[in-house]
Copies of this chain bind each other. A is one copy, B any other.
Amino acid sequence: MNNWKTRYAWLREFGEPAPAGTDCPFHTAEAEAEIYNRNRKEDAPRLKPVLDETLPEEAYILKSGGSEIQIKGGSKGVLYGTYAAAGSVTEKVPVPEGLNAPYWSLRMLDSWDNMDGSVERGYAGRSIWFEADRYSYDPARIRQLGRMLASVGINVLCINNVNVHVPAQDLLDGMLDETAAFADLLRPFGVRLMVSVDFSLPLQRGLVSADPLDENVCLWWKNFAERAWKAIPDLAGYLIKADSEHRPGPNTYGRTHPEGANMLARSVAPYGGVVVWRAFVYNCTQDWRDASTDRPCAAYDLYHPLDGQFDENVILQVKYGPFDFQVREPASPLFYGMKNTHLGCELQLAQEYTGQQIDLFAMPALWREIFDSVGTERIHAVAAVGNLGRDACWTGHPFAALNLYAYGRFAWNPGVNPAEIVRSWVRQTYDLPSEQEDALTDMLMKSRSAYEKYTATLGLDWMMRPETHYGPSPYGYEFDVWGTYTRADRDAVGTDRTKTGTGLTEQYPEEQKALYSDSSSCPDELLLFFHRLPYTWRMRDGRTLIQRIYDDHFEGFDEVQKMQKTLADLSLPEPDAQEAAERMNLQLLNAREWRDVINTFFYRLSGIPDEHGRKIWP
């Protein structure tokens, strides 16, 4: 536990350690202001937090007056405002005017930490708080974590993997005291805990069933909640992955998901708790021969008939796309179709499919598209799978911190402009000359497009290695059980998901249905997601489909080369400069591998050479 060292990205005005011994966010705000005022540059204004209990709990108003910024805020808002004020000073921009309050009240970070210390899909080192099947942390580090989350307004931390591996069943049971102690550490930062719970827990505790309609089961969960909230009065609730990828759920007992979720919801309602119910349900033992079953259709087919049946304090948490955190997906049709259900939108900061915190992939533009497409009013809460670990910079790649920062900012205000968020992060993280600031901002903004070009052009997801989700394997998933097929053959590629095919387009409202159903209106980025087309098909810009595939792969690699050059010209501090350069070398190798493997794959299938005579290996 000793000798750990961390460094923040965007919080450089606040030295370590984070405040200890404060008992509420307001006192934390006062302590942070004191740290800030001590560290600030001579010409910077002082921060002055003022508790104003007439304001909504999470809201704040900033007032800049000469050498001081006054932060009037509610009991949590006063802390959020303190960080916001500091950020504005660092960025050398005026403090925002008027009342600042979050768009969503639940802004969750879901940690896929296992109690053995591993992190499922973690690319930033081991768990910050678990090791060897128990809690294992330095409180000072947890307070630093709390500060980081609070600084961007994240107010719920789910502490354990949705796949509840032994002994995480004990977190609100045999280890309840330790979980309460952990909650105590984060409470002064306005962060409440959530725990991933195993739906079959009663069965493991001696009951003969976990049937949600069984009275004994209901009583068992009622008692369970009573004990949990007694120990942790501000516990946010439970996160549940049920009837998904071999996890147990209500279907095991012939019950519906609302029956399962509502039973839990009733048990936590007296304490203001919520049940976050993941809608990530599909047939994960599909037969590749079966072209009529289509995984992206599964969640809507299951949940749409259940719309209106979930209790008020159930949040049905839907991944942004109908597949699984791919580089490019349309928004999930559930967002449009579940008008009488509280929906949560699940994002993923962990770069499982998006470069694993080696390759650059700034997410704000992706989220912007999803939120624009869906309309934020259809979304009741947001969650993101975290990208944190014990690495000194917290996020593996120092630039990956951008995604955590941006997530917090989006969760607070989903209307923000992606480029502005990226620029804010750059300014708050590095003190660069303005042309370098522009260059870094621009590079990050373009990073998603580059990664998309070499890994998932035209919506061709799932061509990565099945074991790792990193690096190319164009047929790796093709004959497997996961429902993720490109069905590439010598003539054509892609899946017809219109009404002449699997019918996914029919799950969308008219506007989206019309857009996606017609190959002449379907956005290029989703063309092969919704359509099966021959290699000789003419794109709107006159290129053939196969030529577009080749072009994107050559361009993707070239863009990474340019990024490498841009990076080399930045005067970043160490060790960020070296770490970023090392990972950029790996990204370049990865982009080369993707370019060559995917181009060769389609060349072997199609037999059509590149029009520009570039090297495609035979």
Neighbouring B residues of A618 by C-beta, 8 Å: 291, 487, 489
Neighbouring B residues of A586 by C-beta, 8 Å: none
B479 in contact with A473 (CB, 8 Å): yes
Q: Tell me whether A490 and B597 are in contact in the complex, defined as CB-CB below 8 angstroms, given that A473-B479, A475-B474, A476-B476 are known contacts.
A: no
Q: How far is the CB of A605 from chain B (nearest CB, A)?
A: 6
* Complex CA–CA separation, A603 to B289 (angstroms): 14
Q: How far is the CB of A519 from chain B (nearest CB, A)?
A: 20
Interface residues of A in 475-515 (CB under 8 A from B): 475-476, 478-479, 487-491
Interface residue A472 (Cβ < 8 Å from any Cβ of B):
yes
A607 in contact with B473 (CB, 8 Å): no
The interface on chain A, measured as residues whose beta carbon lies within 8 A of the other chain's beta carbons, has a size of 29
Neighbouring B residues of A596 by C-beta, 8 Å: 289
| Most chain B Cβ neighbours within 10 Å, of A288, A478, A491, A601 | A478
Number of copies: 2
Please, which residue of chain B has its CB at the minimum distance from the CB of A478? Answer: B475
Interface residue A617 (Cβ < 8 Å from any Cβ of B):
yes
* Complex CA–CA separation, A581 to B10 (angstroms): 63
Q: How far is the CB of A549 from chain B (nearest CB, A)?
A: 16
Interface residues of A in 442-487 (CB under 8 A from B): 466-467, 472-476, 478-479, 487
Neighbouring B residues of A467 by C-beta, 8 Å: 466-467
Neighbouring B residues of A304 by C-beta, 8 Å: none
Neighbouring B residues of A601 by C-beta, 8 Å: 475, 479
* Complex CA–CA separation, A606 to B604 (angstroms): 10
Neighbouring B residues of A479 by C-beta, 8 Å: 472-474, 593, 597, 600-601
Q: Tell me whether A605 and B474 are in contact in the complex, defined as CB-CB below 8 angstroms, given that A289-B617, A479-B597 are known contacts.
A: no
B289 in contact with A490 (CB, 8 Å): no
* Complex CA–CA separation, A606 to B490 (angstroms): 7
B289 in contact with A488 (CB, 8 Å): no
Neighbouring B residues of A600 by C-beta, 8 Å: 479
Neighbouring B residues of A466 by C-beta, 8 Å: 467
Q: How far is the CB of A586 from chain B (nearest CB, A)?
A: 15
Question: B-contacting residues of A (Cβ < 8 Å)?
Answer: 288-289, 291, 466-467, 472-476, 478-479, 487-491, 593, 596-597, 600-601, 603-607, 617-618
9 A-B pairs with C-beta separation under 8 A: A289-B596, A473-B479, A474-B475, A475-B476, A476-B476, A479-B600, A489-B603, A490-B607, A491-B607
Nearest 4 A/B pairs, CB to CB: A489-B604, A475-B475, A479-B597, A289-B617
